[in-house]
Structure 1
Amino acid sequence: MKPGKALNPNVHGARGLFAFAVFVFHVVNSGLPTFPGLAGSWFETYLLESLKFGVELFFGISGYVIVGALARAPTLRAFAWDRVTRIYPVLWASLLVITLLALVTGRWRPSLGDWLLNFAAPPPFIHVPQINPAAWSLGYEMTFYALCAAAWWLKGKGVRWWLPIAIAVGALLVVFFPRAILMGAGVAIAAHHLDGPRWRWVGALPLTSLILFLIVWRAIEAQWGTPMLYVSPALLPFGQWLTMVPAILLGGLFGTMALKGIVDGRGPFVAMLRTRPMLWLGTVSYSFYLWHPVVMAGAKQAMVKFGLVAQAGPASQLLFALIAIGPTLVVSHYSQVYLEARLTRWLRRRVEKDAAHAPVTADADFSETVALDRAG
């Protein structure tokens, strides 16, 4: 496995798009009034409501970048520390801020055990009330990284069947947690299993494929009345779950096609992802994803307190988005600079004294990311 380029600008810009999609979803689901023609419409139900599945597309990117991370990391310890320092600093900071706000305002907070588990980002089969509502996805991420690390360890020990074992375990996890289905697709794309003339159709229409993925995933929820988070043979009657499998696989196919088109840079939609604003948003996307629920909660309370909801009426959701987006971007920028870049770099150097053996982030070196943003 050869490490490819540290940073694919198409994928980097897609991070920003997917993070912003989740932001829009939370605006739509804020409970604030919206325009009568929009509320309950097909557009809201199948497109705006489907934007929460930007998280699944993030999972696909994780699968894509992890191949390069494994190829570049000199040791299993370096890979593990790379992932820990990537995920935990921003997560822990957001949890501490939310906890402090909960203590000051006297709002609900979980038990001490649940509170501590939130800091570990436990796997999805350990059910924990989320302090940060966006952090549920990190349990999927950490489980995926653990599976990758285990596969690497087995390979290093000379276990002949390490790859089939990893695929079997990964497939089993996807059966019970289908929202992770695009992680395997990302790995397949990064490992060049979908390259060559006969696979060219896969990435031909990335925007169309992206929209179809969102619609199919949302249609599964609408048709069976079950949120995708609970689509699992462990939670549903087996017969009902079995009838959902073809739609799940179809959605996975469309998601794979969208990711492949993005990676390959196909079409004007992907060219938009390479623009300077999208590259910058991609740089702050992880911080944006974890901090936007915190900022939005404050913005919503301010709107209610100062009577802006009553004044705005059906434009309340639009006003909410405009009020929340600026502070979210500012917080995300400083979080990326001080937590993702400076603190993470310091933590990695503290453990890996030898620069030649320092972990290489799967996302790209921070200086390269900033330089690409500036080049736009």
Structure 2
Amino acid sequence: MGDVGNEEKAAVDSKEWYLTAHALEGVPTSDHLKLRTISLSLAVDSIPDRHLVVQNLLISVDPYNRTRLTGVEDGLYFPPFKLNEAITAITVGRVIRSKDSNYKEGDIVFNFFSPVAEHCVVPSELVRKLDPTSGVPLPDFLSSLGLPGFAAWVGIDVVGDPKPGSNVFISAAAGAVGIYAGQLAKLKGCRVIGSTGSDEKVKLIKEEFGYDDAFNYNKETDLDAALSKYFPDGIDVYFDNVGGKMLEAVLNHVNRHAQILVCGMISQYKKIWTEREGVRNLLNIVGKEVRIQGFMSGSYFDRFEDFTKEMHGYIKEGKISSKHKIYHGIESYLECLSSLFTSSNVGKVIIEVNP
């Protein structure tokens, strides 16, 4: 992956994506995000102390970035991107210049806030060194060992902690987070059922990821009837990645003292807040004494090492599997981001920057 010959150069041309106009609703287009080329100096004296020049190898494409394109501070995830500035993402990269003695050229690093670019200069405090000899493929550091796996682990193991035998429902079950949430719930001895957008994905999560059952929400258009069929004994835990109509339907089928763990609401990301779908049956929360809790993975970063150790063990034991959709070239970022809202992908969407 990528060219390691940059060590001999005084500068490098790097392509990066930046925000040219706010996208209040709908799927972002080239009217909102554009690609430009900048010249990045590799001269040591041009690099600030405790900074690194990193050649990005893999870029994570995540739905939450859609909420940062609006220019609106609405309390979702992170602050909005600024006009004419590079957007950011989680990446895996190679250090090609270092002004920090803790890092050397050639080190592989995980970066939480990298520009969506081929190369970048980043504070060393924002990266974490990876061990490429660990036997874990690099894409897994953006999926099972990255933010999707961590979000699933926080929801299932920390915030929710369902008991063995619980009836667990996971929406967007074939997505980057849902795949791991289902597997972690199964490891806790739960009965796990997911919803997803195609028959192929239903087959996949049952056969490859151990879901007890699943349904295609594009076919089961009466969500209330579908949940009656798949949860005759009610829902104990709902891991919500969707929101909207699915959340409303779930509230008709929750058991007393059920937990609703709200990780995301992808069905609402493309809409301004006045057009987002309301939930009409919130009274069920009172009668059933339901606990609804939203959570942000970033609030639990003090547990990231615990997560890494536990998840790495599951991977080595063959208890956790991954699925990646790999796109090639930095030019594909806009296409990748748009694809997240079309149900065309399975698992984690990743860009291989320099294939």
Instruction: Please give the TM-score of this superposition, normalised by the length of structure 1.
Output: 0.28
Give the structure with the larger strand fraction. Answer: 2
More helix by share: 1
Larger RCO, structure (CA 8 Å, separation 6 or more): 1
Q: What TM-score results when the alignment is normalised by the length of structure 2?
A: 0.30
